[in-house]
Amino acid sequence: MSGTFLESIALVRTLPCLAEPGKIIVVGSPSRSLADVIPYLAALPNVIVYNPQTLSLTLRRQPGLITLESERVSITQVVDAPEGMELLAALIEAINATWEHREELVAATGQRRAPRPLDIWRLLPQTNCRMCGEMTCLAFAFSLVHHRRGVGECEVLGSSEGMVDRQRALKALLG
């Protein structure tokens, strides 16, 4: 059987990346649904959060995040649209390689995994704006882990379309 699962991901739009001013978020539309491959991608080591109910997966990259849903992907902290195209091409390769080797992987069926402050911090805007009353986003991350604060208390997360994926991932991560 051919290992090619996915032919292309079209870059459909870019948004400003609040986590790193001057950089962008690229949003892509895959040429077919990613629903069948996402549980295998969720078995990879760089997963920050996976929600099997919504088939929403957030992966760590250096720097930034990749969020995959059945019909949509987004990549944060991208330099410009050409870099976005390169990253989407690399993502297609990674998806196809994962699909090709899926029999060696165990598809993830459960929620991943106990939240760690640093993973939560990676999903926060990292502006240290103090609007939530904490001195830093990292302090807010610790408060979230210990359930002293709620995701909705970071107003920056709710203020921009580019932060929607992060807000959703945080809610999934924190349960």
**N-to-C CA span, the chain:** 38
Q: Which is nearer to ligand SF4, 9 or 19 (CB)?
A: 19
Does 174 interact with ligand SF4 (rule: CB under 6 A)?
no
Q: CA of 8: how far to CAs of 21, 34, 90, in Å?
A: 28, 11, 11
Q: Which is nearer to ligand SF4, 38 or 137 (CB)?
A: 137
Does 25 interact with ligand SF4 (rule: CB under 6 A)?
no
Smallest distance, Å, CB 139 to ligand SF4?
Answer: 8
How many amino acids of this chain bind ligand SF4 (CB under 6 A)? 14
Query: Of 37-45, 85-93, 104-112, 149-157, which part binds ligand SF4 (CB under 6 A)?
Result: 149-157
What number of CA atoms fall less than 13 Å from residue 73's CA on the CB side? 28
DSSP summary character for residue 136: S
Does 44 interact with ligand SF4 (rule: CB under 6 A)?
no
Interface residue with ligand SF4 among 128, 142, 164, 171 (CB under 6 A) is 128
Interface residue with ligand SF4 among 140, 162, 169, 172 (CB under 6 A) is 140
Query: Of 4-12, 26-34, 46-54, 123-131, which part binds ligand SF4 (CB under 6 A)?
Result: 123-131
Query: Which among 96, 107, 102, 105 is positioned nearest to 3, based on CA atoms?
Result: 96
Does 137 interact with ligand SF4 (rule: CB under 6 A)?
yes
Long-range contacts, 90-98 (Cβ 8 Å, 24+): 91/9, 91/28, 91/66, 92/6, 92/7, 92/8, 92/9, 94/41, 95/5, 95/6, 95/34, 95/37, 95/41, 96/3, 96/4, 96/5, 96/6, 97/3, 98/37, 98/40, 98/41, 98/44
Does 124 interact with ligand SF4 (rule: CB under 6 A)?
yes
Interface residue with ligand SF4 among 154, 170, 172, 173 (CB under 6 A) is 154
* CA 147 – CA 45 distance, rounded (Å): 26
Q: Which is nearer to ligand SF4, 84 or 125 (CB)?
A: 125
**Residue ranges that bind ligand SF4, judged by CB under 6 A:** 124-125, 127-132, 134, 137, 140, 154-156
